[in-house]
Amino acid sequence: MSVKYTEDHEWIRVDGETATIGITAYAAEQLGDVVFVELPDVGKTLARGDDAAVVESVKAASEVYAPVSGEITAVNEALTDAPETVNAAAEGDGWFVKIKLSDTSELDGLMDADAYKAHVDAQ
């Protein structure tokens, strides 16, 4: 199971044809305390770069972008009642959506962990 990252601080963990998407611990830290998460409907089709979810913190509201195209197969309903999970476990239980990949070649343009760390360090 490989994890890739975007310049906008999303992570994507791929397992077969399904990908789990969330925001990185760095992004969660920058947002501050998350107070609300808006999730899309299961069955919605996203193109790479589309808004996949909205996360609101005490500081700001921010879109979570789809790093790849596909159909949403699951959303993390637990975030509705416990949005703070994004802060506590951004790259684990704080995931937002799962999608069925429609074009695996889109993964090629994403960063691995080392490249993402260099990207964050440069900011």
Number of structural domains in the chain = 1
Query: Domain residues for 31?
Result: 2-103+110-121
CATH number of the CATH domain containing 54 = 2.40.50.100
Three-state secondary structure string covering 25-67: HHHHHHHCCEEEEECCCCCCEECCCCEEEEEEECCCEEEEECC
Mean pLDDT of 42-54: 97
For the entire predicted model, the pTM comes to 0.95
pLDDT digits (tens, 9 = 90+) for 68-99: 999 999 999 999 999 999 999 999 999 999 99
